[in-house]
Structure 1
């Protein structure tokens, strides 16, 4: 199976139009256009009954104490965890693309609702947890929300866009399911997968 993420080249920086946060010299970060990129895939195997789309960052600090703190830098050797940015399940087997801006076009304070979206069913991304303490932003974030790594991180973050072809029409997930729920539900049902990885940083020393 082959995946194309329009505007994102393998191993290259992700354009700011797809980012939740963009570099700002005064405040380190400001909101970005936050559009989902167009995904197009082909050569799904025979027997495909649905697709899962996900995008995640495996480079997120496991301890958030120093995230975006003046005068501090997040060390490269700090253990890292997955942060899910996009979860779509039960994408119909007939689908071969998701248009740019279809699932997100701008930052939505307090989030977007999980459940049926323009294409497939939206799961909950990790901005739900990350922004929980911010009274202006706290809410349930579902569907796509793009890169916004800590501006004081000493490493460039990687973002894996993935499409998985499944042998089931539905994973049976509903409500506020997250990335771990999706991985658990699709285990044993993946016929083929494809991935494109882009990079992103808000650290001016790494840009």
Structure 2
């Protein structure tokens, strides 16, 4: 039987498993390769007109977690993002917002040394509009709010990392 559940997979990261140094940030005291993993999604709900992808660390030592990547307006015809897409090779029409490192693009894992295991939630959002109604300079919190308010469905893959 074929599943009709919206689902996210990756050839580079696995649910509940430790990420490779390839996904570690290069900066903030980290010396990784800062390569976004390949992501693939399946069974988007009817009415999906675009997708968004976010990466969030709820374990960051802040009051609000840490946003590592926010991409919206991914065309509904897309079924994933290639490895390294976070360095600018996104589908035409896609839009990035500033992550909590302060730039538009993928910012890999970089938990404080000795802070323990952090979870990195890679989420794909199915959206009913082609364009997220957010200004280009919207904060990550505003983008996250809008995604939660308007998504048709979401699928999350949670990987881990520690230093």
TM-score by length of 2: 0.87
Runs of 4+ in 1 over 4 A off after TM superposition: none
- Provide the alpha-carbon RMSD of the alignment: 1.8
- Larger-gyration structure (1/2): 1
> Does the residue aligned with 2:85 lie in a helix, a strand or coil?
coil
Q: Is the counterpart of residue 142 in structure 1 residue 126 in structure 2? A: no
Where structure 1 has 5 or more consecutive residues not aligned to the other structure, the ranges are 23-28, 63-79, 105-111, 129-140, 203-207
Matches within 5 A, 1:31-110: 31-62=31-62, 81-104=64-87
> Which residue of 16, 32, 35 corresponds with 2:21?
16
Other-structure match for 2:3: none
Contact map agreement 1:21 1:147 (CA 8 A) in 2: no
> Does the residue aligned with 1:51 lie in a helix, a strand or coil?
strand
TM-fit CA distance, 1:175: 2.6
Aligned length: 155
Other-structure match for 2:99: 125
Where structure 2 has 5 or more consecutive residues not aligned to the other structure, the ranges are 1-5
Contact map agreement 2:24 2:30 (CA 8 A) in 1: no
TM-score by length of 1: 0.70
User: Within 1, Cα distance between the matches of 2:69 and 2:97?
Assistant: 8
Q: Is the counterpart of residue 159 in structure 1 residue 131 in structure 2? A: no
Other-structure match for 1:174: 135
Cα deviation 1:127-154 (Å, max 9, x = unaligned): 12xxxxxxxxxxxx1121100110131x
User: Within 2, Cα distance between the matches of 1:38 and 1:172?
Assistant: 26
User: Within 2, Cα distance between the matches of 1:30 and 1:2?
Assistant: 31
TM-fit CA distance, 1:185: 2.1
